[in-house]
Chains A and B, each alone.
Chain A
């Protein structure tokens, strides 16, 4: 009897040791991804491709969860992933943020990374992080290409320098979109100083018909070139039909617009995803706010469509790109734009998103609007001279 008891005790000890030993192993990195839609959306496809490439490059396990709405489903998915032993959980859409924060509070040993969010720097959670990219640099470059096209058309006598007006189809009148079109416009004006711009908003991130209509309205208003910040191919298609040159975003639309598509910029999320994986591998903290730049490979231009672009565009873009990288050209240099006829020397931006909509952070420093300095998501929302917003009186 005693022997049996001893045997049982020994057996139990052995069994108890097994999980203890297993825990001592270095934790394996496993990344769980949450996407708003699936690969049929250009926005999410950009993230999904980057996620797969980053995990394969880093040799880590991953789980993809697609079609997760911006609601309690996001919290459920994040908690489920954390429960399935993911060490990093990543979500790709703005509206996922509060649910990610909720999950981050519940799983302090899992890192939660959220693209395009605004709250990591005020939330004070060591395992919750935001990331974005200085896409305004990419848009500035795309603007340079657009400006050169305008110059070419002016020289060819198609219209006068004063008539050089560009149109922009934006999604919502938020900082992210304003920062985008303003940087694009500043890029245009850096090579074509007489240019002006008209902006129209669709109030939707994806509405092909509205985007098409918006582009058509701008063309009818006399815009000579169109760019957009919305996710469908509505605007580029309208431009191709009307023979108006256009600059796209997030994806090359060359296949649909072989004669009018000039260039597009996009955010490449792979560098950030590899960064967060490496941090967890090494046991280092992930930055609360991480901004990818041209230098990190996070901001990219698609190849220029030589058929539509002005001669010498590729060379000029290379030159401006180098200047942006070494800091000799700054996108939001206050000397390059005015507000109500005056150069601005001070501007309070709403960086801390406390739901109060009260701007609190001085953003102008050293003659430049410091975009991406205080948080990764854009907060430039200045209405500068030369840009007319349609429907806003």
Chain B
């Protein structure tokens, strides 16, 4: 009941749900705008033709056969972590600890590769890696879940803090297992014996990773959409009280779902260390635990859509990195470009959910709110 004269120039109100084609139109417009602005920045900095910049962006991801494989491998890894955080998000449990849970998976895999290489045959080492990575990721995720379920602690802060603990643990073991001595880094693990390395299928280094993640993606989609567990997650996400009323044990769902989240992160860590990079560093997860939040959110927590959103993010990232190296710019430049693009993509979600009303439009707005 505001007085006429005191109405602010701008005010924000929630929109009714937009038809899907309008929402996607806004998203497409945001991507186009992002490309225009980043090209403008590039042109100002380099004086290059913007078309060349878009060209570089494309060749950065798909320029050669190898680059294309690397792109799909990156998509698979990002997708894997995104799949992992999604079940928790669907029940409104803000797990931003994907980074740390993945890192614990890497650590467990690396530990098996280093400590068991002289003890067990190759296949047994790989089995140990899978089991221990899943366990490590799950443990890292279930600790904040138990605290949330029992004492209602803030899961966002808790999972975030667990990331730092995981990073420090990895840093510590990098020094313990350093090779060559003096580097403080582990280097490539078992570079000559290949113990604990996932096999190449059809002569393709990254194909196995991609296939595994695609299978996980389908399984998770089925789990979330068609299983009783998936339904319980959705109900808890909608309203904890409703869930309790219909007889769902909320604390059990929280713990069970976070175990799943952590286990999937553990698999991501296992694939990174055993399949992709054969090493362990504090940067191996490459902030995927955080990027995954965006991937999952942009796809509205739908595992199949996430294939597209993770492809988009990887494509932009690799393109930006290629621009900076092709035009002789510092690596930080690619961060600037990625930042600009993400700003637009995230920003557009705001315009999809809310509308901005100017004072003049006040009359009209009242109508739409009926």
Mark A residues whose CB is within 8 Å of B. 38, 63-67, 69-73, 75-76, 79-80, 83, 94-95, 97-99, 101-102, 118-119, 172, 174, 176, 353, 355, 357
Contacts and interface: CB of A to CB of B under 8 A. Distances in A.
B279 A71 contact: yes
Contacts of A353: 180-181
Interface stretch (B78-86, B184-192, B213-221, B257-265): B184-192
A316 B63 CA distance: 58
Interface of B: 63-64, 66-67, 70, 179-185, 187-188, 191, 276-279, 281, 283-284, 325, 328, 330-332
Contact of A71 (B64, B67, B180, B185): B185
A102 B276 CA distance: 12
A76 B191 CA distance: 16
Nearest to B74: A76
A254 B185 CA distance: 34
Nearest to A38: B330
Contacts of A76: 70
Contact of B183 (A65, A66, A70): A70
Given A71-B185, A71-B279, A72-B284, A98 B331 contact: no
A97 B191 CA distance: 12
Contacts of B328: 63-64
28 contacts: A38-B330, A63-B328, A64-B328, A67-B330, A67-B332, A70-B185, A70-B281, A71-B185, A71-B279, A71-B281, A72-B279, A72-B281, A73-B283, A75-B188, A75-B277, A79-B70, A80-B67, A80-B325, A83-B63, A83-B66, A95-B184, A97-B180, A97-B183, A97-B187, A98-B191, A99-B187, A174-B181, A355-B180
A227 B331 CA distance: 34
Nearest to A76: B70
Given A75-B277, A83-B67, A67 B188 contact: no
A99 B180 contact: no
Contacts of B331: 38, 65-67
Given A63-B325, A64-B328, A102-B188, A94 B182 contact: yes
Nearest to B328: A64
Contacts of B283: 69, 71-73
Residue of A69, A70, A97, A101 contacting most chain B CB atoms (<10 Å): A70
In order of increasing CB-CB distance, the 4 nearest A-B pairs are A98-B187, A71-B281, A72-B277, A95-B183
Contacts of A79: 66, 70
A174 B185 contact: no
Contact of B179 (A38, A67, A69, A98): A98
Nearest to A70: B185
A238 to B, nearest CB: 25
A135 to B, nearest CB: 16
A48 B180 CA distance: 25
Chain B interface main SS type? loop
Contacts of B332: 67
Nearest to A81: B325
A99 B185 CA distance: 11
A99 B188 contact: yes
Nearest to A73: B283
Contacts of A67: 330-332
A75 B73 CA distance: 15
Nearest to A350: B181
A65 B188 CA distance: 21
Contacts of A83: 63-64, 66-67
Contacts of B70: 76, 79
Given A71-B283, A76-B70, 15 more contacts: A63-B328, A70-B185, A71-B185, A71-B277, A83-B63, A83-B67, A94-B180, A95-B185, A98-B279, A99-B188, A101-B188, A102-B191, A174-B182, A176-B182, A353-B180
B182 A71 contact: no
B72 to A, nearest CB: 15
A72 B106 CA distance: 13
Nearest to B276: A72
A28 B187 CA distance: 31
B330 A66 contact: yes
A71 B277 CA distance: 9
B14 to A, nearest CB: 43
B330 A95 contact: no
A67 to B, nearest CB: 5
A75 B187 CA distance: 10
A75 B70 CA distance: 12
Contacts of B67: 80, 83
B332 to A, nearest CB: 8
A70 B171 CA distance: 13
Contacts of B278: 102
Nearest to B174: A71
A69 B66 contact: no
A73 to B, nearest CB: 7
Nearest to A124: B192
Contacts of B187: 95, 97-99
A355 B187 CA distance: 11
A372 B284 CA distance: 34
B182 A101 contact: no
A226 to B, nearest CB: 24
Nearest to B273: A72
A64 B328 CA distance: 7
Nearest to A71: B281
